[in-house]
Amino acid sequence: MASMTQKTLLLVEDDPDLLEILRLTFEMEGFRLVLAVDGEEALKKAHRYGPDLIVLDVMLPKLDGIEVCRQLRAESAFRRVPILMLTAKGEESDVVLGLGIGADDYLVKPARPRELTARVRNLLKRVATDNASITDSLITVADLVIDPVRFEVRIADGVPVQLTPSEFKLLQTLASNPGRVFRRNELLDSTMGPGVIVTDRNIDTHVKSVRKKLVEKGDLIETVRGVGYRFSDRPAPS
C-alpha cells in the first residue's frame, strides 16, 4: 500500500495565486499533485488520474464545484474518494449545501496551511482505516442491507442507495450498534477522523442527508435530543 505522502491530490482552484500556494503547500508535504482551474477540467482530470482526494473550490468557471461534486458522486468510482471543499462561501446554508451533495469536509478561505493539510491527512487516514477494517459481514435491518465489502446500501427490493464515504461510515457506525446513543463528537471522530476541527452541524447535515436517501427507512436513525443519535433497536412492525 502506498504511504500517505505518495497519495495523489486533485487541486481545483481558479485563482492562480492561491493555486500556487496550494501547490507549494502540498508539494512540501510530499503529495503528488494534479491541478485544474475550472470545473470541466476538474472532471476530465479526475477521470484521467483517479486521485486519492480532491480539494475543490465552489465558485469555478464553466462548471461550479457543487455540480462537479454532484457528478462525481453519481459515479461508483468516485463514491469513496474524499472531497474537501475549500471556498470563500462560508454561510451556514453554503456549508449545509456542500455537505449535503456529497462533500466530506468544508473549509472556508482563507485556510491556514497546517489546518488544511491536517484535514486532508485525516480524510485519507479515515479511508485507509475503513479499507483495512472491512469485513464480509452484512448488516441487515428489516429491508435495509449495508454491505461493507461492496460499499453498498440497499433498501426494499434491492434498490441501491448512493451514499458518500462519510455518510456510509456514519450509517455503518450507527447500524452496527443498534440502541447505543452516539454523541455528536463520537460520530465526528468516526466519520471525519479524530482531531479534525469541525462543528456539530456537520454531523447534523450528514444525518439529514442519510435519512433523506433512505426514504422511509430514514426513521431508523433516531435523534436523542441534546445528546446525539442512535440506530433504532425496536422490532420492525409486523
C-alpha cell at 157: 427490493
pLDDT, position 221: 92
Residue-range domains of the chain with CATH:
4-132 (3.40.50.2300), 139-231 (1.10.10.10)
Express each pLDDT in 18-70 by its tens digit: 999 999 999 998 899 999 999 999 999 999 988 989 999 988 999 999 899 98
187-to-146, 152, 159 alpha-carbon distances in Å: 18, 20, 26
The H or E element containing residue 126 is helix 113-132
pLDDT over 90 (residue 10): yes
Q: What is the mean pLDDT of residues 67-89?
A: 84
Q: How far is CA 68 from the centre of its chain?
A: 14
- Non-local (6+) Cβ contacts of 225 within 8 A are none
pLDDT at 101 over 80: no
Average pLDDT for the chain: 81
Asked whether the bond before 110 is cis by omega within 30 degrees of 0, the reply is: yes
Residue 19 pLDDT: 92
* pLDDT tens string 120-161: 988 888 776 655 554 557 788 778 888 887 778 888 777 788
Name the pTM for this structure.
0.60
* Lowest mean pLDDT across 8-12, 129-133, 232-236: 129-133
| Of the candidates 47, 82, 84, 72, the residue with the CA atom closest to the CA atom of residue 169 | 82
The larger pLDDT score, comparing residue 74 to residue 99, is at 74
Pairing of strands 159-161, 221-224: unpaired
CB 98 within 8 A of CB 165: no
Instruction: Report the C-alpha dihedral over residues 92, 97, 102, 103, rounded to 10 degrees.
Output: -40
